[in-house]
Amino acid sequence: KAGVTQTPRYLIKTRGQQVTLSCSPISGHRSVSWYQQTPGQGLQFLFEYFSETQRNKGNFPGRFSGRQFSNSRSEMNVSTLELGDSALYLCASSKMQGAIPLNTEAFFGQGTRLTVV
Amino acid sequence: LAKTTQPISMDSYEGQEVNITCSHNNIATNDYITWYQQFPSQGPRFIIQGYKTKVTNEVASLFIPADRKSSTLSLPRVSLSDTAVYYCLVGLLEGGKLIFGQGTELSVKP
């Protein structure tokens, strides 16, 4: 079956602009999480959506937002881009059943490399 | 989620067995131990997961002692393509959140 698909793979934006990244989870997966990876901070959790609701949020400013659609596809948006937002943005999907955590694995996409100039 | 400690880097040669140990002294009763592998500019990939004793799959083995305060990922006969960062995670996938530490950068040389 198809894996997690993230688009676009690469983006170059200017400071002050906004950007929208897209993630299509594995079919049947209802949980979608977003992560930011930078050389200095490593992999950091941004937020998670399940059934179109944000259930969990990391410690990022309000410029970072997201949403999930009824088909479980998710988008994340970063407004007023800063140079420090340059990073690899990763999306992961998992087969969560309701609010009960399962001993399960997360499947990651290849990421979107965002460069802010 | 319990904090994990693992070596920052390791070197090995092709064909050798590599063992990466992770310490997790504060592991909770319900926590699982999970290892992910990440190549540059790609998302992490699930390798193996276990709760206690030993787990083996086609890629690796995971050894967990009785006190569960540490675990060892064993990669048999590594090749150049095993050069990657390996992350040890402890906990449950709650609310879609995984907490990654710094990982171990494994370099396999010919």
Task: Please spell the DSSP secondary structure of A41-70, one letter per residue.
Answer: TEEEEEEEEETTEEEEE-S--TTEEEEE-T
- Minimal C-alpha gap between B13 and chain A (Å): 26
Contacts of B85 in chain A (CB under 8 A): none
Q: Which chain B residues are Cβ-neighbours of A33 within 8 angstroms?
A: 96-98
pLDDT by residue (tens digit) across B56-88? 999 999 999 999 999 999 999 999 999 999 999
Who among A32, A104, A110 is closest to B93 (CB)?
A104
Rounded Cα distance between A94 and A102, Å, is 10
Residue B3, amino acid:
K
| B45 touching A (Cβ < 8 Å) | yes
- How far does the CA of residue A105 sit from the closest CA of chain B (Å)? 7
Compute chain B's Rg from CA coordinates. 13
The verdict on B46 touching A (C-beta cutoff 8 Å) is yes
> What is the predicted pLDDT for the residue at A1?
64
C-beta atoms surrounding B32 within 10 Å: 18
Average pLDDT of the segment spanning B23-52: 90
Residues in chain B closer than 8 A to A91 (CB atoms): 43
Contact of A37 with A111, CB cutoff 8 Å: yes
Question: How confident is residue A100, by pLDDT bands cut at 50, 70 and 90?
Answer: very low
Position B101 confidence tier, pLDDT thresholds 50, 70, 90? confident
Average model confidence (pLDDT) across chain B = 91
Mean pLDDT of chain A: 91
Cβ–Cβ < 8 Å for B76, B61 = yes
b/e sequence A51-87, b meaning 16+ C-beta within 10 Å: eeeebbebebeeebbbebeeebbbbbebeebeeebbb
Interface contact B100-A42, CB threshold 8 A: yes
Å from B98 to nearest chain A CA? 7
What is residue A115's predicted lDDT score, i.e. its pLDDT? Answer: 98
Residues of chain B contacting A60 with CB distance shorter than 8 Å: none
What's the sign of the alpha-carbon dihedral A83, A93, A23, A109? positive
Spatial distance between the Cα atoms of A115 and A84, rounded to a whole number of angstroms: 9
pLDDT for A82 equals 98
Q: Is the pLDDT of residue A101 over 60?
A: no
Contact B96 A88 (CB under 8 A): no
Beta bridge partners of B91: B32
Q: For B82-98, write each residue's pLDDT tens digit.
A: 999 999 988 766 666 78
Q: Is the pLDDT of residue A15 over 50?
A: yes
Q: What is the pLDDT of residues A31-73, one digit of tens each?
A: 999 999 999 888 999 999 998 999 889 999 999 999 999 999 9
